[in-house]
Amino acid sequence: MLSLIIFITSYLVVFFSIPSIIKVAYQKRLFDDPDTVRKVHKRIIPNLGGIAIFTAFLFSSSLVIPHHHLPEGSMLMAAGLLLFMTGLRDDLVGLTPTFKFIAQIASAVVVTIVADLRIENLYGLFNYYELNYATSIALTILFIVGIVNAFNLIDGIDGLAGSLTLIFSLTYAFLFYKAGEMGWSLMATALGGAILGFLFFNITPAKIFMGDCGSLLIGFLAAIFSIKFLSLESPVPLQLGAFQINERIGLAMAILIIPIFDTLRVFTLRILKNRSPFTADSNHLHHRLLFLGLSHIQSTFILAFSNIMFIVLVLALQDFSAGEIISILGLMILTVNGLLSLYIEQYKKTLFAHADRTEVLPDDKISTENYGSRVLNKIFKN
């Protein structure tokens, strides 16, 4: 019952606050700039939805933390506040990547050293088990910064970042509940309620975006929920109905697999092209789906559904080792990505064969929403 109250409270805070945020954003002309290579929207849209998400999460969590044994709670909130304020500043006036990176490192240091929430065991992954203190600190900071940036990058089309957040927040809420970590379960539930309220205004056509103040925050929360899940001290494996959780690291990877894979993929491609991995482009998974003529909501559904299927797959593979599970995940997602790439190449050849070459964008400039479908429409009209 308490979980439901927290969920509904977060939902209502966001649901009733966003209209006011949208109104103020239009009055003060606080919009997301559509004139960049990564943007697929064509209208000016407020990008301060993260304010409502953070407010709802903070309010609901403040009802939880004092009544549960969460000694690290206040430090985690402080670290989250730092990232939220950094993102908000970036949304309002813009910040350099270096400044944002320093803020991410600072937040990660608060989590790992002050709150002492760390990845302490790799459970046999790469044949590593217990980690020494220095390695644990370094790996945890790298993980937090990586996941924060992964969610910042995946926030590219209507509903996608919100849908993936809803999946990981409710999944962790249930896992923490089964592990007896009610405080953590309620915090994850609070985030889930806030995100559901936000999605009401973010599903196509989006009336507001979460902005960096939202994406940096949810990336941070995704990271700390994952770290807490990996560090649970449970004498017996978690039991989820017919599933028994023996390999937590594989499940944590599956929960965040879409943003993790998308980030690793685009970074690798940029490096192979002798470009900075931090150079913005439109080669993310969601851009590729849009190029095939899918809508925002269709692309979001495909990626969110795939995320859920990977979670179910890992639950069914709990008799395998962590290394074997991650190898299977990697092989499957690389295979799907390879097939998608082959299909896109064939699709582009079809466009080149039937349309003016001058109207087809270069590979690294495919940023026009539903470009492929519009070219085909022209072909059929001709």
Please provide the DSSP assignment of 249-314 as one string: HHHHHHHTHHHHHHHHHHHHHHHHTTS-TTS--S-SHHHHHHHTT--HHHHHHHHHHHHHHHHHHH
**Does residue 277 belong to any structural domain of this protein?**
yes
**Does residue 354 belong to any structural domain of this protein?**
no
Residue 12 has a CB neighbour count (10 Å cut-off) of: 14
**In this predicted structure, what is the pLDDT of residue 367?**
42
**Does residue 362 belong to any structural domain of this protein?**
no
**In this predicted structure, what is the pLDDT of residue 69?**
67
**In this predicted structure, what is the pLDDT of residue 70?**
76
Is 149 one of the annotated binding-site residues?
Answer: no
What's the total number of domains in the chain?
1
- pTM metric for this prediction: 0.86
Q: What are the residues whose beta carbons fall under 8 Å from the beta carbon of 295, sequence distance 6 or more?
A: 204, 370
**In this predicted structure, what is the pLDDT of residue 369?**
46
**In this predicted structure, what is the pLDDT of residue 66?**
65
**In this predicted structure, what is the pLDDT of residue 33?**
62
Is 116 one of the annotated binding-site residues?
Answer: no
- Rounded Cα gap, residues 120 and 131, in angstroms: 5
**In this predicted structure, what is the pLDDT of residue 42?**
62
Instruction: Take residue 95 and report the two structure tokens written for it.
Output: 């910040």
**Does residue 186 belong to any structural domain of this protein?**
yes
**Does residue 380 belong to any structural domain of this protein?**
no
User: Radius of gyration (Cα) for the chain, nearest Å?
Assistant: 21
**Does residue 37 belong to any structural domain of this protein?**
yes
**In this predicted structure, what is the pLDDT of residue 123?**
79
Domain assignment of residue 334, given as a range: 2-340
Please give the chain's pLDDT, 382 residues, in tens: 788 999 999 999 999 999 999 999 988 887 766 655 555 556 788 999 999 999 999 999 888 776 666 778 888 999 999 999 999 999 998 888 899 999 999 999 999 999 999 999 887 787 888 899 999 999 999 999 999 999 999 988 889 999 999 999 999 999 999 888 888 999 999 999 999 999 999 987 889 999 999 999 999 999 999 999 998 876 456 766 666 777 889 999 999 999 999 999 999 988 988 888 877 778 888 888 888 888 899 999 999 999 999 999 998 888 888 788 888 998 988 998 888 888 888 777 776 666 554 444 444 444 444 544 454 444 334 4
**Does residue 355 belong to any structural domain of this protein?**
no
**Does residue 378 belong to any structural domain of this protein?**
no
**In this predicted structure, what is the pLDDT of residue 318?**
82
